[in-house]
Structure 1
Amino acid sequence: MLIDSTAMAPDERAEAIREVIWSSVVRVEITHQPDPRLIRTVGAISRIGPLTVCSVRANATTVRRTPALARDDLEPSVFVGLQVTGSSMVVQDAREAVLRPGDLALYDTTRPYTLLNRDGIHQHFFRIPRAELALPERLLDRATAVLFSRRNPLADLTATCLRRIARHQARPASPSGHSLDAAGRPGIELLRALVTARLGDHRTASQTSQETLHLRVLEYVRAHLGDHDLTPARIAAHHHVSLRQLYAVLSRNGVHLGDWVRSQRLERCRAELAALSARHRSIAAVAYRWGFPNAAHFSRTFKHAYGLTPSDWRALHAAGPESPRLQTDTESRPRAEEASG
């Protein structure tokens, strides 16, 4: 669902936005400042597996889930707010968390909370059923309105995973039929690890750390695909495990590290070679950027994987989308992508 206040009459914007949020996300009181008739809101709301994702850009707004609204029939859930630009404040359970770009904070729908956005909203919001997060209630109660700073490596890794989900939520499904539904689970697992590492007891934190090791490894690799020194030894050292442990945990989850890294790098190259914005880059430069130092080897590997040479693939996409449906979807996308950063 896409939100765009410019398509609404000024006097109807506040009520229209409230209805969309109430029906699709959560029941809250929304105060628009300074004048509801000047509301500027653009965003996208979608379901990705167990996650409800809401990416929004708006002018100054205060959001309150009052005691009365907190007693509604919404499934008990936890929200995660990921700040994109600017700053905001989350207030719940007599705690306050001030978020800046890249920071995360949690708040619970079963109790009142307030979100202060004096300079406007630019955030991704993720609603997760408490049952899906599967953390002890006492631990969740201690996690609300606590700042998870981008300076924390695990918080940064979790934010990276959630940000990737949000940025792709409004895009059309790929021709191959791939969807993001399966991506919701890793995001939840990383969030569980983040909360337990920060607030849990040693036993709980250690167990969660082991359960999410393969997810953290894969997110780390995704974030460093362009590094030419991305070796198994470096990956193992970063996660404080031996090479044997690294290969064992990935194998248990059906991942062959070398093949997986190569396929991820090829996908990044394929996407960049098809992008009109990357026409000025040579094929060799694109390959090098994503970890292929030898252009001839890259070309052979690419053709083996996709049945076309890199130059043929680029030529195939030189004219841009040809399908009328794809053109329509693309034309409707920019505002949603603007909201998702």
Structure 2
Amino acid sequence: MGAMTIRFDSGQIPAVDRDTAVREIISASIVPVEIDFPAHEGPVVRGAISDVGSLRVCSIKSNATKAERTERLARDAMEPSVFLGLQVSGSSLVVQNEREAVLRPGDLVLYESAAPYTLVDADGIQQVQIRIPTASLGLPGDVLRMISAVKLSPGHPVADLAAAYFRRMAARPDLISQPGAQAISQPSIELVRALITTHLDLAAPQGDAMHASLRLRILEYVRANLRDPDLTAAQIAVEHHISVRHLYNVLAEGGISLGGWIREQRLEGCRDDLARAGLFTTPIGAIAKRWGFTDPSSFGRSFRAAYGLSPREWRIMAHQDPAGLAELRGQNPSRS
């Protein structure tokens, strides 16, 4: 929930334990993958891993020539996440969903933890990786599949902004660990969402892109109006010049239930506000109302069903035991 940074250097690990320890560290702190290191020198890995709210920022330099998330690993219990990879030096290859992206310094690419992928770099994998829970992005699964392993166009203003922003973030883990740094988590997620939506036409045939674009426009409109307790399907349909039936069909094709999606997004907004130090004295009922919940008892039941704690218990734990709360969230990935 807060911000913290862990630095590590494989050179500080006894040689006899290095291979096993490095693999375990990467599996536990970034993502479980199968890794190839040069046989003649073994693992050489240095870097920093920072948690900023729900983001994990990994700035790693290694001599790993290949990292593969296999079919088996992609079905593990890890919370489904999206990685934004920023190539730091050299060139690398990212493979996912039968697509390949060749990256050079400054290039960006996205790939999902819930599907197999492979990273290859003969000179050692040199990427900044931003790991974001898929649920936090709030985008349809088919959109993420369309955009995975697609090089995000250098020179595009949003891509340039994102590359500069995340490069700077990864370069200054000392700033990330400062009090209040977790406040940049949500704007960072918004930037990644903008990066995806502005590049969708690169990743899909025109008809598919237009259809997916409509779904994204609908979701962005809903996201902007979550705090309106009177938000209805009819209002959303009118704003997009479509029928209510077509609205539901467009969302259903992306595996989205409108009512369930609105409730989940509102609950996430409440959850994040309850964890903010500046809102600790704000009544829970006021926070719920701010996010469109009009019935306090119904809100309390929905919150407990989603996160396993009452709103009050969540708030107390967020401020007294953030590490325990982070562990709880990890145990309930479908609810985070």
Coarse TM-score class (shorter-chain normalised): 0.5 to 0.7
Superposed counterparts of 1:1-341, under 5 Å: 1-37=6-42, 39-171=43-175, 173-174=177-178, 177=179, 179-199=180-200, 200-201=209-210, 202-203=213-214
What residue number does 1:221 align with?
none
Helix, strand or coil at the partner of 2:57: strand
Residue identity opposite 1:181 in structure 2: Q
Residue identity opposite 1:141 in structure 2: R
RMSD: 2.4
TM-score by length of 2: 0.57
Does the 8 Å CA contact 2:47/2:59 hold for their aligned counterparts?
A: yes
- C-alpha distance in 1 between matches for 2:177 and 2:80: 30
Change (3 A) 1:17 1:136: same
Helix, strand or coil at the partner of 1:68: helix
TM-score by length of 1: 0.57
Helix, strand or coil at the partner of 2:139: coil
- Can you list the C-alpha shifts for 1:88-126, whole angstroms capped at 9, x where unaligned? 111011100111111111111111111102111221111
Helix, strand or coil at the partner of 2:160: helix
Helix, strand or coil at the partner of 1:155: helix
Does the 8 Å CA contact 2:33/2:67 hold for their aligned counterparts?
A: yes
Report how far residue 163 of structure 1 moved: 1.8
- Can you list the C-alpha shifts for 1:121-176, whole angstroms capped at 9, x where unaligned? 221111111110111111011111010132222111111222222122245845xx
Helix, strand or coil at the partner of 1:54: strand
Residue identity opposite 1:117 in structure 2: D
Report how far residue 36 of structure 1 moved: 4.6
**Largest Rg, 1 or 2:** 1
- C-alpha distance in 1 between matches for 2:41 and 2:142: 39
**Which deviates further from its counterpart, 157-166 or 107-116?**
157-166
- C-alpha distance in 1 between matches for 2:220 and 2:126: 31
| 5+ residue gaps, structure 2 | 1-5, 201-208, 224-336
State the identity %.
45
Runs of 4+ in 1 over 3 A off after TM superposition: 170-174, 200-212
What residue number does 1:219 align with?
none
- C-alpha distance in 1 between matches for 2:133 and 2:17: 31
- Can you list the C-alpha shifts for 1:237-261, whole angstroms capped at 9, x where unaligned? xxxxxxxxxxxxxxxxxxxxxxxxx
- Can you list the C-alpha shifts for 1:24-71, whole angstroms capped at 9, x where unaligned? 12111111024353x321111121111111110112421011111111
The alignment covers a number of residue pairs equal to: 209
Does the 8 Å CA contact 1:193/1:205 hold for their aligned counterparts?
A: no
- C-alpha distance in 1 between matches for 2:37 and 2:217: 44
- Can you list the C-alpha shifts for 1:231-290, whole angstroms capped at 9, x where unaligned? xxxxxxxxxxxxxxxxxxxxxxxxxxxxxxxxxxxxxxxxxxxxxxxxxxxxxxxxxxxx
Change (3 A) 1:170 1:20: farther
| 5+ residue gaps, structure 1 | 213-341
